[in-house]
Structure 1
Amino acid sequence: MAETTPAEGKVLTLAITPRSREAIKPAELIQVTGHHELTLNARRAITILWHNAHVQGVEEGRDYTIEIDDLKPDGHKGYEMVEEAVEALMRTIILVRMTNGATRRVQFLGGNDMDSPDRPAGVLTYSFDKRLVEVLKSSTIWGKISIPVLMAFTSKYAVSLYENAAQFANLEFKSFADYSLDEFRDMLGVLPGQYKTFGELNKHVLKPVLAEVNALAPFTMSVLPTKQGKKVTGIRLSWWKKDSDALKDAWDELQRPKVGRKARLSDTVELVSDPVPTVNRLLRQSRARRSPKTS
């Protein structure tokens, strides 16, 4: 029987047995700030490292081991990229809001040892900060992260968008979430000052990221801007489950090489377009279509 918290009767994240290719990632490791500098490989690595620790059993003060090949972006090369990702995770401080209102600052990754790249089967031995483990042991909100989907992404922003949506995609009572523009940028991990206007963010981040996530994930998302006057001030993120045909298409795309994916998906982005439709505009259009015509 899954363990529950005594106060609320909710299932603890650590009580769920993860599948071999599906990580059960706590929201505390998904809803983070301060990860702007993390590369694609580093953002994928924290999920892989967490999943591996979850399988081995998360305990305070415990060391975990993982084959370095499991962290390589292409499976057969990239030792230096793994080393860079590990060091980046050690340098990155995340902020966790405690239930008592206090703020806890912890590293993504604690101390570790990495085998020499000359060894045919190198191993990384790693740990998590005890204060982070304490938080994760009481976690009751999580996202189901497909490891094959995670490793197939070519954009660091796609990783952040996919993992954040994965927390909600299977909920029956929730189908959208509203963010201020600054909150949405922080969620994606966009550097402060980068893509200053919504037009730039839409062109360089949202369109390519939506195309990739929607092509590979088991759910589909839309991103619609909300406005005050002519200025975009917020984002409504919506999601819905794919039908069997769409799931098959996603599976087929996962089997194809990453090379050429951008071209394959270039005509698929319809949810964020120029000129950008607002939520209010779409609602008005929907009501107009439903209204009976009068002669």
Structure 2
Amino acid sequence: MTPNPELPDWSLSQILMEKRMNLAVATDKRVELKKHVNAIHCSNNLTLVQRKLFNALLFNAYPELPYKLKFQISAKDLCKLIGYNSNDYGKLKRALLGLITTAIEWNVIDCDTGKEKNWKASSILSAAQLAEGVCTYEYSHIMKELLFQPEIYGRIDVKTMSKFKSSYGLALYENCIRYQRLSQTPWFPLDVFRKLMGVLGGKYTSFKDFKKRVLNIAVNEVNNLSQIQVLPEIERQNQKVTKIRFKLNKKHLASSEKISNLINAELEETLTNTFSLSPLLIRDLLTEYDIAFIREKVNIIINSSSFQEGKIRGLSGYLIDSLRKDYKASKSSQMLISEARMKRKLEEEAEKEREERRRNRYEKYVKDKINKYLTLLTDAEKDALVMDFEVELKSNKSNKVFYSWYKKNGFEHVGVKACFHNFVKEHKKQHMGGILSFEEFISLVDEYT
């Protein structure tokens, strides 16, 4: 069954795309592109503009990639996404033509081992048009399948992408960002890494030249422009460089994320911004003191008259001293702390209720979407869907209980019905015109209601 553009939720997809574009081109908020690792770990000789264009066009098309044939974006927005500040679209046309005519190799490396895997080749775009300030473009069917598999992707910061000045820097960023949570990339055989960087043929054959003209430039750009720091390591055999990998460190973001696993955002922000504690010092304090004890001393200081009148100098040292000497609050401070604690409790309860309402609303959206899809099916299509569902229940051991309920009660059992809806959601998502994620749905609900 093909997607029905008359469905009410089609407009939600359009609103979401416009919102993503506005975020990407007109704000300082971080906006990320989910780029399938097949597309990241590919061999090609794309220019910097072509590589940026590849990412920008995919960013624009991604929400509707599985079921839409043609995609459009204004040339103005496209230029902003790739950091091109000119009204001369000649360069843009040449780059688009390059995406149609340039062959790329897919899946050059295995994401876990860094070794070469199976080989495929294709052009990036099947067609493109630039007319009346609008860029219209298409992907081939096989390209869309390769690009849209959201279970495996690397996150590319769209604004960071637009800042790169060399294709080598952007290529290294793309190939490292995938591993940012693992602290290092796998070992890449040098010949494979050369392909990933777009250095083909007999260019820079000696490692000395390659390091000077490619590697150093790329590393400096990534370290200066992105949220990660990369440090290359090389492996030699008989004095010859054979492999390369990169140690990865996030900048301040990495420390914040690790701390956020231990304390809530409010306390983290207070320790960082109000008391000027570094992420490293915060972690040291967390290993030495209980979180509740740290929060108690923070509240004592913040609610003290000395703090509110700006009389405390060296807040970080004062906080550390209060922890070591176990400062106690005065009676007036204790009252303020009690009031602050009650206020925080009420706010947390209100947020919990708000989150529950959001969840209920999203569940209704998904349920309505599925029911709408089911009502549009013919009897034959419904029978085929039920048969597929039965096969899934039989073949999956974890569904054994659901299968027994199904044989006994059919779809009258609430558990079976929920399982069937989940099956439809997972296997027929594209036929429904796509289903927004919880985060995407809530971002729209919060903004437009």
| TM-score grouping bracket, smaller chain normalisation | 0.5 to 0.7
Is contact 2:34-2:150 (8 Å) kept? no
Q: CA deviation at 1:51?
A: 0.3
Contact 2:41 2:175 in 1 (8 A): yes
Structure number with the bigger relative contact order (C-alpha 8 A, sep ≥ 6) is 1
User: Which is further off, 20-29 or 157-166?
Assistant: 20-29
Counterpart code for 2:126: G
Q: Does 1:95 align with 2:102?
A: no
Structure 2 residue 35 is matched with structure 1 residue 25:
yes
The answer to whether residue 175 in structure 2 is matched with residue 164 in structure 1 is: yes
Deviation of 1:58 after TM superposition, in Å, equals 1.0
Using the TM superposition, name which of 101-110 and 140-149 deviates more. 101-110
For the pair 1:178 / 2:194, whether they are aligned, the reply is no
Query: How far apart are residue 43 of structure 1 and its match?
Result: 0.5
**Counterpart selection for 2:96 from 52, 76, 86:** 86
Question: CA separation of 1:106/1:142 partners in 2, compared to 1, >3 Å: closer, same or farther?
Answer: same
- Report SS of the residue matched to 1:205: helix
1:112 aligns with 2:128: yes
Summarize the alignment of residues 181-196 of structure 1 with structure 2, pairs less than 5 Å apart: 181-196=190-205
1:106-163 per-residue CA deviation (whole Å, 9 max, x = no partner) reads 2211212211xxx5xx000111111111233335221111112111111001111001
CA distance in structure 1 between the aligned counterparts of 2:237 and 2:189, rounded to whole angstroms: 12
Aligned residues: 220
Asked if 1:227 is matched to 2:236, the reply is: yes
Structure-to-structure mapping, 1:1-80, within 5 angstroms: 20=24, 21-33=31-43, 35-36=44-45, 38-55=46-63, 57-60=64-67, 62-72=69-79, 73-80=83-90
Distance 1:42 1:67 in 2: 17
- Map of 1:271-286 to 2, 5 A cutoff? none
Residues 56-86 of structure 1 show CA distances to partners (whole Å, capped at 9, x for unaligned) of x113451110111233343333411111110
| Bigger Cα Rg | 2
TM-score by length of 2: 0.45
Deviates more, 1:131-140 or 1:227-236: 131-140
CA distance in 2, matches of 1:95, 1:211: 26
Matched-pair contact (CA < 8 Å) for 2:71–2:137: yes
In the superposition, relative to structure 1, how do residues 181 and 210 fare at CA in structure 2: closer, same or farther (>3 Å)?
same
The one of 139, 146, 150 equivalent to 2:161 is: 150
Provide the rounded CA distance (Å) in 2 between the counterparts of 1:246 and 1:78: 43
Q: Which residue identity lines up with residue 239 of structure 2 in the other structure?
A: K
Matches of 2:146 and 2:155, distance apart in 1: 19
Q: For the structure 1 residues 146 and 245, does the alpha-carbon distance in structure 2 shift closer, same or farther, using more than 3 Å as the test?
A: closer
SS of the aligned residue for 2:194 comes to helix
Offset at 1:206? 1.2
CA distance in 2, matches of 1:138, 1:245: 26
- Any gaps of 5 or more consecutive residues in structure 1? 1-16, 248-295
SS in 1 for 2:186: strand
CA change 1:234–1:104 in 2 (3 A) is: closer
- The residue type paired with residue 140 of structure 2 is D
Which residue matches 1:270?
none
Deviations along 1:249-275, whole A, 9 cap, x unmatched?
A: xxxxxxxxxxxxxxxxxxxxxxxxxxx
Alpha-carbon distance in 1 for matches of 2:84, 2:121: 32
Closer/same/farther in 2, CA of residues 181 and 58 from structure 1, 3 Å limit:
same
Distance 1:90 1:224 in 2: 36
Q: CA RMSD in A?
A: 2.7
In structure 2, what is the equivalent of residue 13 of structure 1? Answer: none
Contact 2:164 2:221 in 1 (8 A): yes
| Structure that is richer in strand per residue | 1
AA of the residue aligned to 1:105: A
